């Protein structure tokens, strides 16, 4: 008997993590937001760069990272991880979205996380505010319903000069994998 083969989706895997902080309230809050939209969410505080890299190696679609960035990389208690190495590792493992959720300066992002030409969507947080979790939820609501990240981003953070904007967090979005889809 001939039939149509149906491919089952297992759902996107999400890692909400920190480097150096084991019990951050922001990490817990952001993980709870992801939990509303995705079935496979892990929250971890990594004490070392090696632990973080092993976490990324476990095969996540989203890595939502709390890490302090200097011009030469993410600073950890035991070693520094160059931002270019973090981006490369995420690309090698098929990470569709790397969201650096801790506040860092735009200059440090530009110097430390070179994503040009890389196949990864990258969101870099400059300023979190009281509306950060609401903004994260709005983006995740859209992508969990099948929208691409660039489309969700333009709907939630319109790029209209002098247009009306609600109080959004300050973030930089680099769409290096614009067609990537995240599944619930």
**Per-residue pLDDT tens over the stretch 4-51:** 443 334 689 999 999 876 668 999 999 999 999 999 999 999 988 999
| Domain presence at residue 55 | yes
| Domain presence at residue 115 | yes
| Domain presence at residue 182 | no
Q: Report the pLDDT value the prediction gives residue 79, as an integer from 0 to 100.
A: 77
| Domain presence at residue 2 | no
Assign residue 140 the CATH number of its domain.
3.40.50.1460
Q: Report the pLDDT value the prediction gives residue 10, as an integer from 0 to 100.
A: 67
pTM as predicted: 0.91
Q: Report the pLDDT value the prediction gives residue 162, as an integer from 0 to 100.
A: 67
Residue 35 and residue 89: Cα distance in Å, rounded? Answer: 25
Range of the domain at 128: 13-175
| Domain presence at residue 5 | no
For the chain, the domain total comes to 1
| Domain presence at residue 184 | no
Q: CA 82 from chain center: how many Å?
A: 17
Question: How is the beta sheet containing 170-175 ordered, strand by strand?
Answer: 40-46, 13-19, 62-66, 97-100, 121-127, 170-175
| Domain presence at residue 105 | yes
| Domain presence at residue 7 | no
Residue 184 and residue 179: Cα distance in Å, rounded? Answer: 16
pLDDT tens by residue, the chain, 184 residues: 444 443 334 689 999 999 876 668 999 999 999 999 999 999 999 988 999 999 999 999 999 999 988 776 777 666 788 899 999 999 999 999 999 999 999 999 988 899 999 999 999 999 999 999 999 999 999 999 999 999 999 999 987 776 666 789 999 999 999 999 998 8
Q: Report the pLDDT value the prediction gives residue 177, as an integer from 0 to 100.
A: 97
Question: Which residue shows structure tokens 């939990």?
Answer: 35
């Amino acid at each position: 008997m001939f039939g149509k083969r149906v491919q089952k989706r297992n759902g996107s895997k999400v890692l909400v993590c920190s480097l150096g902080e084991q019990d951050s309230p922001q990490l817990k809050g952001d993980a709870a937001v992801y939990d509303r939209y995705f079935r496979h969410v892990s929250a971890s505080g990594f004490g070392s760069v090696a632990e973080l890299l092993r976490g990324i190696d476990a095969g996540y679609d989203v890595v939502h990272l709390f890490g302090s960035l200097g011009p030469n990389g993410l600073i950890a208690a035991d070693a520094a991880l160059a931002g270019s190495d973090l981006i490369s590792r995420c690309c090698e493992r098929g990470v569709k979205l790397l969201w650096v959720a801790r506040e860092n300066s735009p200059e440090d992002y530009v110097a430390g996380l070179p994503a040009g030409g890389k196949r990864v969507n990258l969101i870099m947080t400059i300023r979190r505010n009281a509306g950060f979790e609401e903004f994260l939820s709005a983006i995740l609501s859209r992508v969990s319903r099948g929208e691409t990240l660039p489309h969700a981003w333009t709907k939630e953070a319109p790029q209209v000069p002098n247009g009306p904007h609600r109080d959004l967090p300050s973030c930089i979005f680099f769409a290096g994998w614009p067609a990537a889809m995240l599944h619930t």
